[in-house]
Every structure is written in C-alpha cells, then in structure tokens.
Amino acid sequence: MMAEGQRVLAGIPGVREVQAGSVIDQSAHYRYCWLIRFSAPEALDSYRHHPAHLAFVERPFRPMATDRMSADYQVADARTGVAALPDAASLAQTDGLAA
C-alpha cells in the first residue's frame, strides 16, 4: 500500500515529494507516517479534493488506518519565508495564555 500511495499521490499536481515510513518503536500508538511536501501552500487545497487523493484515501488507506491523525505544517526555512519557529512566549500569547 505504501508504494502505491507514493506513486498515486506523487502524481497529483502541486505535490513535490511523498515519503512514507513505519514506526521503529513497536509500542507507539501510530504505526505509519506519511510526509507530503507541496510546491506551494495553495497546492494543499487542490490536493485535498483531487480525485486521485480521495480514491486512495477511501479504498486502500482508510480501511487499514481506522485510527489516524492528520496535521498540516509549515516548514521554517528561507524558501518558505518563515525565519524560525515561534518561541514558547509567542505561543502562549497567541493561545491567550500570557498574563
């Protein structure tokens, strides 16, 4: 399934790279990881609704991964224009936790 997913998902416009891996620590709750890199932030929306992505998710992926999580991240680097990750004080202020 992982090789098929890499092939299918990599063919979607805007997808720059697809990596898949499995857990090293067998006691971990989640067993597999998918890392999909996009050519631009705008590509994420078209990827989510692309027929090839939806077909892969519905057929081989979802039945196998009944307990899953998904999160989108912005990588901090010069290419993305994000200089650095926020520090704890900045996070506390944006979450309304600062005094």
Q: What is the CATH number of the domain that holds 66?
A: 3.30.70.100
Q: Are 30 and 69 in contact (CB under 8 A)?
A: yes
- What total number of domains does the chain contain? 1
Average of per-residue pLDDT across 61-86:
72
Cα 42 to the center of its chain, rounded Å = 14
Give residue 1's pLDDT. Answer: 76
Strand partners, 38: 15
Mean pLDDT across the chain: 81
Of residues 19 and 60, more confidently modeled = 19
Decide if pLDDT at 31 tops 80. Answer: yes
Average of per-residue pLDDT across 29-53:
91
- CA dist 64 and 94 (Å) reads 37
Q: Is residue 96 part of a domain?
A: no
Q: Is residue 8 part of a domain?
A: yes
Q: Which residue has the tokens 């196998």?
A: 64
Q: Is residue 30 part of a domain?
A: yes
Domain extent for 37: 2-73
Of residues 89 and 36, more confidently modeled = 36
The pTM of the full predicted model, rounded to 2 decimals, is 0.70
